[in-house]
């Protein structure tokens, strides 16, 4: 059955891989993008691309109105959009801290809250949040990012309890290091240092994260909620 699916930040990186995978699964996929133009390959495959900055509540409302009009109420939400603003604590500005929290955590809250209206009425729904291994392990220079990603775990588990009786699942995928624009800014030395700590000895491809998301969004995952699924090559073992 073709479901109405929304992937935030579906224009590149992990979000793009998730959008592709859900189109392949036969879903009616909408993506939000913030800057530039949506990928032509998705547009050609019938994906609805809606411009939306998730830090702007009016844009969020507008995006949902358009998606609901064209695809119906969102039945599967993948909250993927996120940013980094890395800095050591003493050099981290209030603005860098707040911007990361506002996008990664509060932005996700905005998207999930709006989607939950339709899901509650339908007494069904799938919510998947993209956290990070860094939210569980911590990372020097990423206190803001790690706090936002750890926050998603508490957020998801609270929603799993709050929404479970209405047939809505809420789960978290915690990727390790994935080859995207976000990690391409790291130096070769930093990359080598990371890979040395990963039991599988390499970065993930975006489609490997998408595979876990697609499963959690599927009918087969109906009895999984409040879970944190690591897709990190073994980097975060023990968490
Ligand atoms: P990218 O930097 O490649 O893409 C980030 C996406 O988020 C873009 O689509 C971007 O839109 C969107 N975005 C950022 N801010 C906003 C905003 N305010 N409103 C709307 N959209 C926004 O990152 P990745 O694909 O690597 O990361 C995707 C998710 O996975 C993030 O949440 C990230 O934290 C997480 N993650 C990534 C890992 C990695 O190693 N790459 C590891 C663990 C987790 P635009 O194109 O307009 O900027």
pLDDT digits (tens, 9 = 90+) for 116-143: 999 999 999 999 999 999 999 999 999 9
Phi, psi of 173 (to 5 degrees): -110, 130
- Per-residue pLDDT at 232 exceeds 90: yes
Catalytic-residue membership of 145: yes
Tokens coding 206 = 């975006």
Tell me the per-residue pLDDT of 188-218, one tens digit each, with 9 for 90 and over.
Answer: 998 999 999 999 999 999 999 999 999 999 9
> What is the C-alpha to C-alpha distance for residues 191 and 201, in angstroms, rounded to an integer?
11
Q: What is the CATH number of domain 4-231?
A: 3.40.50.720
pTM exceeding 0.90: yes
> Contact, 173 vs 131, CB < 8 A?
yes
User: Which residue's CA is minimally distant from atom 22 of ligand 1?
Assistant: 81
| ipTM given for this complex | 0.99
- Cα 165 to ligand 1 centre (Å): 31
> What is the C-alpha to C-alpha distance for residues 3 and 213, in angstroms, rounded to an integer?
15
Residue ranges per structural domain of the chain: 4-231
Q: Which atom of ligand 1 lies closest to the CA of 145?
A: 34
Provide the pLDDT for residue 105: 98
User: Which residue's CA is minimally distant from atom 27 of ligand 1?
Assistant: 14
């Amino acid at each position: 059955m073709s479901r109405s699916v929304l992937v935030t930040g579906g224009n590149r990186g992990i979000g793009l891989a998730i959008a592709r995978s859900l189109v392949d699964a036969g879903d009616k996929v909408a993506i939000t993008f913030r800057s530039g133009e949506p990928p032509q390959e998705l547009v050609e495959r019938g994906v609805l691309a809606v411009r939306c900055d998730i830090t702007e509540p009016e844009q969020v409302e507008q995006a949902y109105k358009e998606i609901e009009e064209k695809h119906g109420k969102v039945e599967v939400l993948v909250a993927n959009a996120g940013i980094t603003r890395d800095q050591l604590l003493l050099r981290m500005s209030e603005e860098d801290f707040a911007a990361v929290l506002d996008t990664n955590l509060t932005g996700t809250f905005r998207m999930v809250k709006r989607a939950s209206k339709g899901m509650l009425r339908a007494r069904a729904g799938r919510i998947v949040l993209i956290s990070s291994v860094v939210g569980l392990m911590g990372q020097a220079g990423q206190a803001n990012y790690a706090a936002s990603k750890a926050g998603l775990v508490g957020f998801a588990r609270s929603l799993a309890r709050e929404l479970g009786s209405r047939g809505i699942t809420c789960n978290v995928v915690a990727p390790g290091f994935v080859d995207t624009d976000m990690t391409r800014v790291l130096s070769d030395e930093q990359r080598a240092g990371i890979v040395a700590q990963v039991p599988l000895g390499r970065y993930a491809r975006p489609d490997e994260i998408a595979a876990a998301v697609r499963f959690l969004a599927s009918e087969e995952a109906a009895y999984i909620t409040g879970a944190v699924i690591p897709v990190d090559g073994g980097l975060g073992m023990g968490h």
